[in-house]
Amino acid sequence: MDKKFVQERISRIRNAHGISARKLSLELGQSTEYINQIENGKSLPSLEGLFNFCDYFKISLGEFFDESVNFPIEYAKIIEELNKMDKLAIDSVYELLKLINRH
């Protein structure tokens, strides 16, 4: 994991929510160029800035840094829905996922 990972992760999460870099910067209480500077590799967020980013999108730092998950926001939503299901429903979803991934 490196600086590029943080840049790309912030960009991917922001874009997945359809929020501009400028608007997100302001929502996080930063200058209008804050997110652009991070995404363009000119700076890195502080630890507090990263906490604020994760809080804003309702993900944990663990989810942010989990390299095995390409879309942490979507993944968290799916897990939330799976947690509402019984075993039979989860087994059905699993079988469906296997079918989808074969194609």
The C-alpha angle 8, 9, 11, rounded to 5 degrees, equals: 65
CATH number at residue 43: 1.10.260.40
Q: Which residue bears the tokens 């990263």?
A: 50
pLDDT at site 1:
66
Pinpoint the alpha helices (H) of the chain: 3-16, 21-27, 34-39, 47-57, 61-65, 72-82, 87-102
Name the domain count of the chain.
1
Range of the domain at 28: 3-102
Q: How far apart are CA 4 and CA 9, in angstroms?
A: 8
Instruction: Mark residue 23 as left, alpha or beta (left: phi above 0; alpha: psi -120 to 50; beta: remaining).
Output: alpha
pLDDT at site 72:
83
Are the beta carbons of 49 and 28 closer than 8 angstroms? yes
Q: Which residue has the higher pLDDT, 91 or 77?
A: 91
pLDDT in tens, 22-76: 999 999 999 999 999 999 999 999 999 999 999 999 889 998 999 888 888 888 8
pLDDT at site 52:
97
pLDDT in tens, 3-13: 999 999 999 99
